[in-house]
Chain A
Amino acid sequence: MTVADSRERAARRTARRRSRIPTLFGLAGGLIVGILVCGAVFAPWLAPYDPTERVARPFLFPSSEHLLGTNDIGQDLLSEMIFGARVSLTIGIVAAAVALLIGTTVGVVAGYYPKRLGSAMMRGVDVILILPFLPLLIVLAAYLGRSLLNTILVIGVLIWAEPARIIRSQVLSLRSREYVLAARSMGAPDRWTILRHIVPRTGLLATGSFVRAVSNAILLEAALSFLGLGDPIQKSWGSTLFWAQSRGAFLTPAWKWWVLPPGLLIMLASLGFALIAFSLEERINPRL
């Protein structure tokens, strides 16, 4: 065994160890997201009560019958948390999908036609990235009005710029690969080249962006709902916080069971997706 040999082995070992951490993070993220998604899917069986029904006196403290007490009109808060996962995760995932759709389209087109069209589009992306984000979000949400669909649209429309940039840079490098050049020089139409050779190769990167976008969208939904700009009738974690705030729970002992649980759930959901995104990025782009 030579010195060089052992050195090599040691290097390999550290590399392996290093690569194990992201995998662990990914597993943890997957576990968190898995539990939350299960909670959302099986909500009707898990939740002790119908969250839209007034089942007890308002402002009840936690008890064995209502583990997290009741809200301001006597709805069970635990059930509200469980059913809230449905709205919060749905908005997060659908809004991220909207963002990805816009982002991929813009990214691919701008990357494939980098000259005039591309640079014009990227200036648009720059504008979106430069705009102060939260005020814009609030103005848009207030202008469009409160509904589930509007919340999804507002969030989707605001977070597509980042995926667009990432995907464009990938497309820029893809379009100068030999097989793409070969296809083009043989007279393949652009649309065919894009759909056959470009888009499939951005898939992995897009997946990473998507998961990261979900994490963002969940936070944004919570922020909007908390500010009363979501639909306050929809039972999401953010709207639970809105009601807690507007009925004074932040000023009373009720914050422990009315403010903390939705806050923790929002944090967990966002963290879960962020961990998955982190480990995916390690895989896709090991230089990071």
Chain B
Amino acid sequence: MTTMRRFASSKALTLVLMLGLMAAACGGEDTSSEEVSAAQAQAATAQSEAAAAQSEAESAQAEAEAAASALAQAQADLEAAQAAASAAMEGDEASQSALADAQAALEEAEQRAAATAEASEEAVAAAESALAEAEQMLDEAMMEQEAAAGPVTVRAAITGDEATLNPYTYISGFPGWNLLMLQYDSLMQLDAAGIPQPWLADTVSVNADLTEYSFTMVEGVTWHDGQPLTAHDVDFSVDYYINNVEASRFARDLRGVEDLVVTGDYSATFVLGSPKAGFELAALADIPIIPRHVWEGVEVPSEHDFGATNIGTGPYKLVEYVEGQSYRFEANPDYFRGAPAVEELVVIVFADDAGAQAAIRTGEVDVIFERIPPEQIPLLDAQDPLDIALGPEFTTQMINYDASKRPFDDVAVRQAINLAMDRQDIVDTVFLGAATVGSPGWIHPEHRSYNPSMIPVYDPAAANALLDAAGYVDGDGDGVREFDGQPMSFEIITNAPDSLRLRIAELTVEMLAAIGIETSVAAVETGTWEQAVWPEFNVNNGRNYDIAMWGWSAPVQADPLRLPQLVASIPMGGFLNLTGYASAEMDALSAALPVESTEAGRIAILLRMQEIIAEELPFVLLLYPDGAYVYDSSVYSDWEFIAGQGIVSKLSLLPPSARP
């Protein structure tokens, strides 16, 4: 027990340290905009109340003055009457009664004057105190507003370090790339529907045969250091990415670019070697533009010291990075689409999901920049200021097998595995329903290129019949089929830290057992797993696995025109083809897709490719986890869910008017 406790306490210590650090980083708690505006409104009402009281007091005073003058009048009357009375010494009856009248009137006037004076004094006192109160409230509101004048700080949690977050050092496709793009801009930007819209580029046009993409740029955009952004920076960025291919996805994006012809300070044309549809999504909306004056002469970008910060054009500047602990982004008030709505973004690195969730429950962070696991959705949603942003995501969970070797080179085996998988069961059991059942044709049902005839079928009986017919029978009666004299017994390799994937692997073992394929789960470190499935991240290095659980990040699916990368044979450009699948028809379609000039023609090709994938199964797609993000709605709630990408983007942090 002591050992365990030591572990727990060291973990807790790290957490406490992190929280402490975070608290220090955040300084005094800022008030949210709602709170300030509420206070302001309150102060305003108090002020108007005070004003009303004051005017009341004024009118009371006027009344009192009137009463006083009435009194003076009455006194004068009385004196006159007394004079008259003394004149009429003999005291005739009429003058006597007149005197009495005058005296009564005087008394009455005196009484009234006293009462009014009292009332008016009271009113004045009330008005004064109301005024004082109003002033105090106004002061408080002003102070609060001042405190929040760098208005909102949002504290976000991530669960892994992302290094120094420049285009050559960021680590994960999500949320690393997303955080990278807070500092940089690309020529185009995805809107909420996931469609690229002009961004740094003002207009984008393409010629009829899809080989020239021309753009003009927004003028007056400046880098964080004040230098102007021009088409020459774009030119430099493109050259730089193409010439520095190490560990960069951007060089891949720019494949086929022969030249970027700069036609003016704010206009240029990409010249492609071959027609390429979807260049907007694949490249223009993906590659960050880097400043020529900073990057010129940088030879090893992943090791270069760029000093304290990265210079981009984006809405945020990275002002502080503590390795393995936190990032602090400050808003760029001169951002060309308008100053961001969130003044400061602090990103804290947590050791795991549980730590991040504990932190948001206790209010230590305001949002988690990771999908929250399905079992936590109802629990977190039930807690008061917390809300959930839900939407379709294009990440995937799938089964890969080495389709280049026995027995997976046989389509019948792959089809049998596909039929044996009860996707609905996996969605319900492991994801508690918070996932979308996988289309056997790869593309998400919510995606605009989805082929609606792709229906997953679960039919283990048909799978067994298929294997029987193909000659994979259980000859020795041990419950396991044989191929080429060996039992169909394989290891399913998966990365242990992904517990949901591990559970899917366990269910897969169960489902494959039902069709006579024996499997066992090997849960290994993420590095070992990647090395087995995708050695050196280069498909030309082959594969060292039989069956593997796998998943792609969202961009691979978000752009359907990347499909050839997954399914074209390796020499034909299938550089994400991890299963070694090859098919002549698929290669032909893969070659045709990027040169098809009409949208309708491209959709037709994509529909056919999905049919082939569902038929020949280069991999078995199981499901798409739904995106669920938790945020504290009392701090900031303007999160924008980009279909297939989630909430981590600059759109979420810009005021709605600045979003595309």
Q: How far is the CA of A226 from the CA of B353 in the complex (A)?
A: 15
A75 to B, closest residue via Cβ: B506
B residues 503-536 with Cβ under 8 Å of A? Answer: 503, 506-507, 510, 520-525, 528
Q: Which of chain B's residues have a CB closer than 8 A to the CB of A246?
A: 353-354, 499
Residue A194 interfacial (CB < 8 Å): no
Q: How far is the CA of A142 from the CA of B527 in the complex (A)?
A: 11
Known: A233-B506, A243-B499. A58 touches B354 (CB 8 A): no
Q: Does B430 lie within 8 Å of A266, measured CB to CB? A: no
B425 to A, closest residue via Cβ: A54
Q: How far is the CA of A142 from the CA of B525 in the complex (A)?
A: 7
Q: Which of chain A's residues have a CB closer than 8 A to the CB of B430?
A: 72-73
Q: Does A233 lie within 8 Å of B523, measured CB to CB? A: yes
A residues 176-227 with Cβ under 8 Å of B? Answer: 219-220, 222-223, 226-227
Residue A24 interfacial (CB < 8 Å): no
Q: How far is the CA of A270 from the CA of B4 in the complex (A)?
A: 12
Q: Does A58 lie within 8 Å of B429, measured CB to CB? A: yes
Q: Which of chain B's residues have a CB closer than 8 A to the CB of A231?
A: 523
Q: Does A54 lie within 8 Å of B6, measured CB to CB? A: no
Q: Does A247 lie within 8 Å of B357, measured CB to CB? A: no
Q: How far is the CA of A220 from the CA of B525 in the complex (A)?
A: 20
Measured between C-beta atoms, what is the minimum distance from B525 to chain A in Å?
A: 6
Q: In the complex, which range does the number of interface residues on chain A fall in?
A: 20 to 34
Measured between C-beta atoms, what is the minimum distance from A205 to chain B in Å?
A: 24
Residue A134 interfacial (CB < 8 Å): yes
Q: How far is the CA of A73 from the CA of B502 in the complex (A)?
A: 11
Q: Which of chain A's residues have a CB closer than 8 A to the CB of B94?
A: none
| Interface 0/1 of A227-244, CB less than 8 Å to B | 110011100000000010
Q: Does B2 lie within 8 Å of A219, measured CB to CB? A: yes
Q: How far is the CA of A125 from the CA of B524 in the complex (A)?
A: 31
| Interface 0/1 of A28-65, CB less than 8 Å to B | 00000000000000000000000000100011000000
Q: Does A72 lie within 8 Å of B503, measured CB to CB? A: yes
Q: Does B358 lie within 8 Å of A219, measured CB to CB? A: no
Residue A283 interfacial (CB < 8 Å): no
Most chain A beta-carbon contacts within 10 A, residue among B503, B507, B520: B503
A74 to B, closest residue via Cβ: B429
Q: Which of chain B's residues have a CB closer than 8 A to the CB of A270?
A: 1
Measured between C-beta atoms, what is the minimum distance from B522 to chain A in Å?
A: 8
Q: Which of chain A's residues have a CB closer than 8 A to the CB of B263?
A: none
Q: Which of A72, A146, A220 sits near B496, CB closer than 8 Å?
A: A146
Q: How far is the CA of A220 from the CA of B3 in the complex (A)?
A: 7
Residue A124 interfacial (CB < 8 Å): no
B residues 464-520 with Cβ under 8 Å of A? Answer: 496-497, 499, 502-503, 506-507, 510, 520
Binds B, one of A83-91, A103-111, A115-123, A248-256: A248-256
Q: Does A251 lie within 8 Å of B357, measured CB to CB? A: yes
Q: How far is the CA of A247 from the CA of B429 in the complex (A)?
A: 13
Q: Does B376 lie within 8 Å of A54, measured CB to CB? A: no
Q: Does A228 lie within 8 Å of B496, measured CB to CB? A: yes
Q: Does B4 lie within 8 Å of A247, measured CB to CB? A: no
Q: How far is the CA of A73 from the CA of B7 in the complex (A)?
A: 27
Q: Does A223 lie within 8 Å of B354, measured CB to CB? A: no
Q: Does B429 lie within 8 Å of A73, measured CB to CB? A: yes
Measured between C-beta atoms, what is the minimum distance from B287 to chain A in Å?
A: 36
Q: Does A232 lie within 8 Å of B7, measured CB to CB? A: no
Chain B residues with a Cβ closer than 8 Å to the other chain, count: 33
Known: A146-B524, A251-B357. A54 touches B4 (CB 8 A): no
Residue B259 interfacial (CB < 8 Å): no
Known: A231-B523, A266-B1. A248 touches B375 (CB 8 A): yes
Residue A23 interfacial (CB < 8 Å): no
Q: Which of chain B's residues have a CB closer than 8 A to the CB of A10?
A: none
Q: Which of A146, A219, A226, A227 sits near B523, CB closer than 8 Å?
A: A146
Q: How far is the CA of A228 from the CA of B357 in the complex (A)?
A: 19
Measured between C-beta atoms, what is the minimum distance from B465 to chain A in Å?
A: 25
A146 to B, closest residue via Cβ: B523
Measured between C-beta atoms, what is the minimum distance from B520 to chain A in Å?
A: 8
Q: Does B379 lie within 8 Å of A247, measured CB to CB? A: no
Q: Which of chain B's residues have a CB closer than 8 A to the CB of A243?
A: 499
| Interface 0/1 of B1-20, CB less than 8 Å to A | 11110110000000000000
Q: Which of chain A's residues have a CB closer than 8 A to the CB of B315?
A: none
Q: Which of chain A's residues have a CB closer than 8 A to the CB of B520?
A: 233
Measured between C-beta atoms, what is the minimum distance from A54 to chain B in Å?
A: 7
Q: How far is the CA of A172 from the CA of B2 in the complex (A)?
A: 33
Most chain A beta-carbon contacts within 10 A, residue among B375, B497, B524: B375
Q: Which of B3, B361, B432, B503 sits near A251, CB closer than 8 Å?
A: B361
A229 to B, closest residue via Cβ: B496
Q: Which of chain A's residues have a CB closer than 8 A to the CB of B1?
A: 219, 263, 266-267, 270
Q: Which of chain A's residues have a CB closer than 8 A to the CB of B7?
A: 134, 223, 226-227
B residues 408-438 with Cβ under 8 Å of A? Answer: 429-430, 432
Residue A245 interfacial (CB < 8 Å): yes
Measured between C-beta atoms, what is the minimum distance from A59 to chain B in Å?
A: 6
Residue B373 interfacial (CB < 8 Å): yes
Q: How far is the CA of A243 from the CA of B497 in the complex (A)?
A: 11
Q: Does B4 lie within 8 Å of A222, measured CB to CB? A: yes
Q: Which of A145, A223, A247, A263 sits near B499, CB closer than 8 Å?
A: A247
Q: Which of chain A's residues have a CB closer than 8 A to the CB of B496?
A: 146, 228, 232
Q: Does B521 lie within 8 Å of A233, measured CB to CB? A: yes
Q: Does B497 lie within 8 Å of A228, measured CB to CB? A: yes
B376 to A, closest residue via Cβ: A248
B520 to A, closest residue via Cβ: A233
Q: How far is the CA of A58 from the CA of B524 in the complex (A)?
A: 25
Measured between C-beta atoms, what is the minimum distance from B268 to chain A in Å?
A: 49
Q: Does B373 lie within 8 Å of A251, measured CB to CB? A: no
A247 to B, closest residue via Cβ: B375
Q: How far is the CA of A232 from the CA of B494 in the complex (A)?
A: 12
Q: Which of B6, B357, B507, B521 sits near A73, CB closer than 8 Å?
A: B507
Q: How far is the CA of A219 from the CA of B4 in the complex (A)?
A: 7
Q: Which of chain A's residues have a CB closer than 8 A to the CB of B379?
A: 248, 251-252
Q: Does B429 lie within 8 Å of A251, measured CB to CB? A: no
A238 to B, closest residue via Cβ: B4
Q: How far is the CA of A75 from the CA of B520 in the complex (A)?
A: 18
Q: Which of chain B's residues have a CB closer than 8 A to the CB of A226?
A: 4, 7
Q: Does A248 lie within 8 Å of B354, measured CB to CB? A: yes
Q: How far is the CA of A72 from the CA of B500 in the complex (A)?
A: 10
21 pairs, A vs B, C-beta closer than 8 Å: A54-B429, A59-B432, A72-B375, A134-B6, A134-B7, A142-B525, A219-B4, A220-B3, A222-B3, A228-B497, A232-B499, A232-B502, A232-B523, A246-B353, A248-B353, A248-B354, A248-B379, A250-B354, A251-B357, A251-B358, A251-B379
Closest 3 CB pairs of A and B: A246-B499, A219-B3, A223-B3
